[in-house]
Structure formats: structure tokens, C-alpha cells
Amino acid sequence: MIRFDQLTSLELGTSHPEIYDRPIELRLLHQDPGTSAEHYLVRHPAGLKARRHTHSSAHTIVVLDGALEVDGQLLHAGSYTHRAAGAVMHHAPAPGQSCLFLILFDGPFDVIPA
């Protein structure tokens, strides 16, 4: 069993995937050796710019704090979205806000600019 209390207060590392104009914060929460599924806690800083992209695995996003704009739709804290593997998408924090969210990949994480 893996358990994290108070996700909003966990320490995050930094990463700079090529689709972003600057680093983001993230933390690997779970990696399944059988399915290669990976779960991450991610924080996007306010003003982050992102490019359209795809992922090889289907994935689910759950917004925990702030607001995330996904394909032109605003998702507030408590929102959920699921994307099929290979679907082209765009997500970035809502204007003037940062955003903390979970992203749960059904397989290994990758990001491919569209």
C-alpha cells in the first residue's frame, strides 16, 4: 500500500519537459512494475506557457488546487478529466493562477510535442 497524507504540502522536485517555457514542479507518487503505470503530483506556476502535445498512455487529471485550462475549458479544484492514449491536448494553468493536480498515466510517462 502507498499512502500520502496532505498532498498539497508534499515537497516537489523540478522538471523541464520540452513542451513548457520553464520548469514545473512534480513528484512521482507511484510506479507499478507490472503495468508501468505512473502517478505524479504536479504544480504549474502561474503564467506557464505550454505547447500542444500527446502521451502514449491514457491518463487522468484531477485538479487539487487552483485552476487548469484543458483544451480551452477551465477545470477548478475538484475537477476530473480523462484522455485517451495519443489524444492531442493542451493544458496550462488558468490565467493568473497556479495549479496543483494529479496526473495518473495508465502506462509509462512520456510527452510528445504535437
Domain count, the chain: 1
**H helix or E strand, kind and range, residue 103:** strand 99-105
4: cell is 500520502
Digit-coded pLDDT (tens) for 14-48: 999 999 999 999 999 999 999 999 999 999 999 99
Q: Helix, strand, or coil here: 9?
A: helix
| Residue 70 placed within a domain | yes
Confidence check: pLDDT of 5 > 90:
no
| Residue 6 placed within a domain | no
| Residue 49 placed within a domain | yes
Domain of 104, CATH number, reads 2.60.120.10
| Residue 69 placed within a domain | yes
pTM of the model: 0.94
| Residue 14 placed within a domain | no
Digit-coded pLDDT (tens) for 46-74: 999 999 999 999 999 999 999 999 999 99
| Residue 13 placed within a domain | no
